[in-house]
Copies of this chain bind each other. A is one copy, B any other.
Amino acid sequence: MMNNPKLNCDYQKLDTPFLLVDKPVLRSNLARLSKEIEGMGAELRPHFKTLKSLDAAPYLLAENVSPVTVSTLKEAEALACEGYTNIIYAVGISGDKLPRVYQLLSMGVDLKVLLDSKEQAQVPNQYSEDNRCAIPALIEIDCDGHRGGIDPNSPELLELAELLHRGSAQFKGVLTHAGESYRCFDETSLRAAAENEVKAALNAANRLRDAGLPCEIVSIGSTPTAHRYQNLQGITEVRAGVYGLFDLVMAGIGVCNLNDIAARVVTTVIGHNKEKGWVFIDAGWMALSSDRGTAEQPKDCGYGLLTDSTGCLLDKLQVTAVNQEHGIVSAVDGGSINFDALPIGSRLQILPNHACATASMHSHYHVFDKQNNSYEIWTRIQGW
C-alpha cells in the first residue's frame, strides 16, 4: 500500500486529469450511514465495488470480521489477503467461479454466494458434494422487479431453500436490493421503496422459518433506501456502496447534497471555441466514464457539474459532451460562459454523475485531507 499520511502534495501541481477524494467528506458519509444503521440494530455491510481499494478498507470496515459485499471475486481475494473474512459475493454464481470460491473458503474466509433458481442451486450443491465442502449460499429475492431474484411469495422460494438446505451447499439466508429506488425523486416514494424492501425480505425470511428452514442472514440495501429506513427489526444487515463517495445521481434522488460528494475529477482547460460557447477540458470519458445516470432524473447534469478549484459550484455550466480525452463544457439553462474566467491552463473540478463508474476509470485515487494536512494515493483493485 502506498499510504503515506506524511506525504506533502500541492494538488495544484498534480497532472490532470485525476480523481480527487476528499477524505473528511468520505469519512463523514461513511460514519453517517454506519451510525444510522447500527442505531437501528442492524449491521452495515458496505459494498466494496465503489471504492475497490484496500487502502479504503480500514475506513469502510472497522474489524477483520466486519461484513463486506463484493462485486467480483478479485475483490474478495484481495480483501481475504488483507485478513477480511466476512464476505458476500453479490452477483449470481456460475459453476466456473466455484474453484476460486472454494479456494477462499479453504483459507478460512466466510464467503457467501448468491443465486435465484433451482438450476443454479444444483451448481454449488454438486460442487460441494464433489469437493467435500459446503458452499454458503444466499437466495436473491426480487422486491421491486428491478433485475434478478425470486418473488418472496412464490413456492419456488421454499423449494430452492430446501434444495440448498438438504443438499451439500449451505443455505444461509436471503438478500434483496431495491434497485428501483434509483427512480424515486421524493421523500414519499423513497420511504415507500425502503419499506417495501424491508417487507419483502422479512416476508421471505418468515415464510422460510415457518417452513422449518433456517434463515440466518436477512440482507437488504441500496444507497437510496439505506438512508430512509424507519425500522429494521428482523433485518440482519444493510448493504450500500456509493454512500461513501456519493454523486450527482444520489444528489438528484435527494439522499445527499452536492457538498457531500467526496470524489471529483480535476481537469485543466485546454481550449476555447468562443463562437460555439465551448470550453475544452482534458477530461473526457476516459476520466469521467460515459455514465449518463442523471439523464433520467428531473435535473439532467450532462456528464457532470463543475466547480472552480476551490470547490465552488459554477452555476449553469455542465460537461455537455465527452470524447476519449476531451470534454466540452457549455452553458445550460440560459447561462453563459465567461471565457476570461476560464483561461487555458486553469483548473476545474467535475462532480461525477455516478461515482462507481467514474472511480472505475482510475487506477489510483488522490486522497486529500486538508484538516489533517495529509495526502495519500489509494490503489484500485482491477479486473475480475
Contact = CB atoms under 8 A, between A and B. Distances in A.
A292 to B, nearest CB: 7
Nearest to A268: B94
A384 B16 contact: yes
B285 A16 contact: no
A276 B150 CA distance: 12
B384 A148 contact: no
Nearest to A293: B290
A148 B361 contact: no
A110 to B, nearest CB: 21
A152 interface: no
Given A361-B360, A384-B16, A94 B328 contact: no
Interface residues of A, number: 60
Interface of A: 15-18, 49, 71-73, 91-97, 100, 115-117, 119-120, 123, 145, 147-148, 179, 268-273, 276, 280, 282, 285-287, 289-292, 323-326, 328, 343-345, 356-357, 360-364, 382-384
Nearest to A292: B290
Given A71-B324, A94-B268, 14 more contacts: A15-B100, A15-B384, A91-B326, A94-B270, A94-B282, A120-B271, A147-B323, A179-B323, A285-B289, A285-B357, A287-B384, A289-B289, A360-B361, A363-B383
Contacts of A326: 91-92, 147-148
B356 A382 contact: no
Contact of A344 (B123, B280, B289, B344): B123
Given A91-B326, A280-B147, A326-B147, A344 B271 contact: no
17 contacts: A15-B384, A16-B96, A49-B325, A71-B286, A91-B326, A92-B282, A94-B270, A117-B271, A117-B344, A119-B272, A120-B271, A147-B323, A148-B271, A286-B360, A287-B384, A363-B363, A364-B383
Contacts of A357: 285, 290, 324
A232 to B, nearest CB: 25
A364 B287 CA distance: 18
Given A116-B271, A120-B344, A345-B123, A325 B286 contact: no
A70 to B, nearest CB: 10
A276 B142 CA distance: 13
A7 to B, nearest CB: 18
Contact of A93 (B94, B270, B286): B270
A271 B325 contact: no
A308 B381 CA distance: 30
Contacts of A270: 91-94, 120
Contact of A280 (B49, B92, B119, B345): B92
A272 B325 CA distance: 38
A14 B323 CA distance: 32
B92 A271 contact: yes
Nearest to A13: B96
A91 B323 CA distance: 11
Nearest to A353: B290
Contacts of A123: 344-345
| Top 9 closest pairs, chain A to chain B, by CB | A92-B270, A92-B271, A290-B290, A71-B325, A94-B268, A363-B382, A94-B345, A95-B345, A91-B325
Contacts of A95: 345
A179 B286 CA distance: 18
Given A16-B96, A120-B271, A280-B147, A72 B325 contact: yes
